[in-house]
A and B are shown apart, each in its own frame.
Chain A
Amino acid sequence: MAKIKTYPHIDYKKCTACRECITFCPFDCLDLVVRGKDSYGNTYPGLTEKGKKECTSCGICAGKCPIGVIEMKEELPGA
């Protein structure tokens, strides 16, 4: 049976921009690309254009998130 393709969805109300998901993604699918989520000027992690194509649904990012605010879902984030 073919594996169902899933993508990381980040809860930006809780994400701390700590970069752990970026650090541990084995394929560089995530980067600091999301702005405007707070008044400090932080950039937050998200799938890059490359990541949208190359994410392998491994879920390592979700597992490494220190507070578990990444959920793997079938649709592309922002879609």
Chain B
Amino acid sequence: MKGVMGKILKVNLTAREWSEEQIDEGIYDQFLGGIGLATYILHRDIQKGADPLGPENVLGFVPGALTGTGSFVTGRFLVTGKSPLTGGWGDSNCGGNFSPGIKQAGYDGIFFYGTSSEPVYLFIDNKGPQILDASEYWGTTDAVDTEQQLIEKHTLRKKPVCVTIGEAAEKLSLISGIVNDKGRIAARSGLGAVMGSKKLKAVVLAGSKKIPVAKPDKMKEISTEYANKVRVMNLPGFVKGSTFPLVGKALGLNMRTPMNGIAMVGIFKKYGTIFANLSGLNGDLPVKNWALSTKHFKKKAKKTNPDLQLKKETNKYHCSSCNIGCGGEADISNIGDGAFKTTHKPEYETVASFGSLLLSNDLDGIYYINEICNRAGLDTISAGNTMAYAYECYEKGIITKEDTGGLELKWGQVDTAIEVLKQMIRREGFGALLADGVKAATRKIPGSEDCAMHAGGQEPGMHDPRFESGMGLHMSVDPTPGKHTVGAETYYMSTAVWNYCSWAPKQKLESKSHEQEATHEGAWKNVAMSAMKQLVDCSGGCLFAMLTGFNNWRLFDWLNAATGMEKSGDQLMEIGLRVQTMRQMFNIREGIDPWKNKMADRVIGRPPLPDGPTKGNSFDLEGQMQLYWEKIGWDRETGVPTRETLEKLNILQYTEA
């Protein structure tokens, strides 16, 4: 198969040896690449019951099947392994510039086994892999500076790309991630701690292998069509930051309609995700540790107007192969103590996690926190949720000044959060109690369970299921729970997936009132949502490109043109179903009860909010989970994939213990 490199690199850190493994065509045919390939390797090579922070865990870096083949917005990579945060399948999707470097090094994945006794990093150039000493960086140099120094050190003819970990991962924080391109983070699932446990400080890639493409002219034809569509989609001048509450209200109307997703491009090009700072006032934005409605943040939110963030922006930022460019870079040399010169523009997730969730609108403080987290390699979503948990514990008297070392955790105060955050990263003082996220904190702070918002151990992304129930369902039903990027009804309606997949229900113009209930059609949509997202993650694609619609961002056609396959939409979606089921089977094998991945009651409206745009909202999560399981072919009572499904997807041989 073209599009892929045909082999993976396996690095044994204990023995300091490496080997290559050729991957059979049949495996690509079944799993494609990216996350799919990782499910095959990790099922095979991680033994049941493995300690996520022990040598038996396997940490994988996988680019997508489309990465580097001439398609757009397909330059992302995934980090995979057994998650120390959830105890089950862990993956984290990341942009930046690292992904094509894996293929240019000659591989469809780099997998790390064992544990080094001393800090090391992996360097690959066209001569091959080398495992090198990293002790000068370990404990001394943050993720951003390490990346810069290693790139300088290894730049000969070509500047390498690099992933690194910071102090949080070195100290095995279960909410730490892996950093590339000065602050794009594979943040979820706590996989930074896995890298830290292996004493692997960085991976530096400077290869220049050619990536084979089956039909380059066809690739160019599809890419040109997409580029032409994206180029002309610009926001009209009257759309300012202050108009986004209205956009949010429109999204909050009791209506679903098929949407041409390309319309979103103008917003992404100008603002990126931060439009949601204000559109989220429709009820999507979580407030005060998920305890209040957006009504209570409306006035404060004005100071998070996305136009204020554009004023700080010095440069737009594009991840590898992206023709949209939703990211940005900002000058922060005049913020706080001036310790940092620049940072990536904080995403909506970070603005909400350390903003509304703490009842704060201190945008400068959020920029400063963003850079602290980037350099330490800390997941801003999990860290923000954990901070909000601590603030609520303090408010309720569950913890006092005696516990916090004299710090007063008062809602709205970001300065205190910065101090606690630094302690979390260093695992010192009060911060040590919080360093591993909310679930671990509840074991150290008795009586605090009701303040801890998580699904299966992972803190939720900043989109409120009381605004959109599908978000709560996917946060609960996905094998990596708590993620906001795996599915939602709003996502579905712009994908046009029904044009490619015979069983995916066509989005009609309809009321969304029924979404609170479990319906057969809703369940099929949610299953299709999971399948397409896994297919995107096999390809190295981006969620935001997916939201521009498969009729515009022609993933299915690119996949066939790049690989030379001639698969139908249904056959490609079956790969997505296979990968989703492999991920679930990993959890089952590890003894995780799928019911235990249910999102925390408060987040799903139990009890409902008494006011605001989502007043009274709750939904039948259990019923929706059961219907999802039934439609995808998992047992509707237990969430365990049935033998019939494993046989149908031809994965029984990979999943039998």
Render A16-30 as a binary contact track against B, CB cut-off 8 A, 1 for contact.
111110011111100
A65 to chain B, nearest CB (A): 8
The size bracket of the interface on B is 20 to 34
- The residue in chain B whose Cβ has the minimal distance to the Cβ of A17 is B318
Contacts of B323 in A (CB 8 A): 16-18, 66
- Contact A28:B157 (CB < 8 A) given known A17-B325, A23-B320, A40-B270: yes
**Within B69-114, which residues are at the interface with A (CB < 8 Å)?**
70-72, 75, 97, 100, 104
**Within A1-37, which residues are at the interface with B (CB < 8 Å)?**
14, 16-20, 23-28
Render B314-344 as a binary contact track against A, CB cut-off 8 A, 1 for contact.
1110101111010000000000000000000
Do residues A19 and B321 form an inter-chain contact, with CB atoms below 8 A?
yes
CA distance A27 to B155 in the complex (A): 10
- Contact A66:B70 (CB < 8 A) given known A16-B323, A28-B155, A40-B270: yes
Contacts of A20 in B (CB 8 A): 68, 70, 320-321
Do residues A16 and B231 form an inter-chain contact, with CB atoms below 8 A?
yes
A52 within 8 A of B: no
- Contact A28:B159 (CB < 8 A) given known A16-B227, A40-B325, A66-B219: yes
Contacts of B158 in A (CB 8 A): 25-28
CA distance A20 to B99 in the complex (A): 12
B208 within 8 A of A: yes
Do residues B220 and A67 form an inter-chain contact, with CB atoms below 8 A?
yes
Contacts of B322 in A (CB 8 A): 18-19
A43 to chain B, nearest CB (A): 6
Contacts of B325 in A (CB 8 A): 17, 40, 42
Contacts of B227 in A (CB 8 A): 14, 16, 66-67
Do residues B316 and A40 form an inter-chain contact, with CB atoms below 8 A?
yes
CA distance A27 to B270 in the complex (A): 32
A77 within 8 A of B: no
Do residues A67 and B97 form an inter-chain contact, with CB atoms below 8 A?
no
CA distance A67 to B269 in the complex (A): 19
Contacts of A66 in B (CB 8 A): 70-72, 219-220, 223-224, 227, 321, 323
Contacts of B208 in A (CB 8 A): 24, 26
Contacts of A28 in B (CB 8 A): 155, 157-159
Do residues B316 and A16 form an inter-chain contact, with CB atoms below 8 A?
no
Do residues A16 and B230 form an inter-chain contact, with CB atoms below 8 A?
yes
- The residue in chain A whose Cβ has the minimal distance to the Cβ of B319 is A19
CA distance A26 to B158 in the complex (A): 6
Residue of B104, B155, B316 contacting most chain A CB atoms (<10 Å): B316
CA distance A26 to B321 in the complex (A): 17
A9 to chain B, nearest CB (A): 18
B181 to chain A, nearest CB (A): 11
Do residues B72 and A23 form an inter-chain contact, with CB atoms below 8 A?
no
B401 to chain A, nearest CB (A): 46
Do residues B316 and A41 form an inter-chain contact, with CB atoms below 8 A?
yes
- Contact A18:B321 (CB < 8 A) given known A27-B158, A66-B72, A66-B223: yes
Contacts of A27 in B (CB 8 A): 157-158
Residue of B224, B314, B325 contacting most chain A CB atoms (<10 Å): B325
- Contact A41:B100 (CB < 8 A) given known A19-B320, A66-B70: no
B313 within 8 A of A: yes
Contacts of B318 in A (CB 8 A): 17-19, 42
- Contact A18:B72 (CB < 8 A) given known A27-B158, A40-B270: yes
Do residues A41 and B313 form an inter-chain contact, with CB atoms below 8 A?
yes
Of B100, B220, B314, which is within 8 A of A23 by CB? B100
B138 to chain A, nearest CB (A): 28
A33 to chain B, nearest CB (A): 12
B106 to chain A, nearest CB (A): 14
Of A23, A26, A42, which is within 8 A of B316 by CB? A42
A11 to chain B, nearest CB (A): 11
- Contact A43:B223 (CB < 8 A) given known A20-B321, A66-B72: no
- The residue in chain A whose Cβ has the minimal distance to the Cβ of B227 is A67
CA distance A64 to B315 in the complex (A): 24
Do residues A67 and B320 form an inter-chain contact, with CB atoms below 8 A?
no
Do residues B315 and A43 form an inter-chain contact, with CB atoms below 8 A?
yes
- The residue in chain A whose Cβ has the minimal distance to the Cβ of B73 is A18
Do residues A14 and B159 form an inter-chain contact, with CB atoms below 8 A?
no
CA distance A23 to B99 in the complex (A): 10
Do residues A41 and B97 form an inter-chain contact, with CB atoms below 8 A?
no
27 A-B residue contacts at CB 8 Å? A14-B227, A16-B227, A18-B322, A19-B97, A19-B318, A20-B68, A20-B321, A23-B68, A23-B75, A24-B68, A24-B208, A25-B158, A26-B157, A26-B208, A27-B157, A28-B158, A28-B159, A40-B270, A40-B325, A41-B314, A41-B315, A42-B325, A66-B72, A66-B219, A66-B220, A67-B224, A67-B227
Question: What are the 7 tightest A-B residue pairs by CB atom distance, in nearest-first order?
Answer: A16-B323, A66-B223, A42-B316, A67-B224, A26-B208, A66-B70, A18-B323
Beyond the given pairs A19-B322, A43-B316, 14 more chain A to chain B contacts, judged by CB atoms under 8 angstroms and listed by A's residue number, are A16-B231, A17-B316, A18-B321, A20-B320, A23-B100, A23-B104, A23-B320, A24-B100, A26-B158, A28-B155, A28-B158, A41-B316, A66-B220, A67-B227
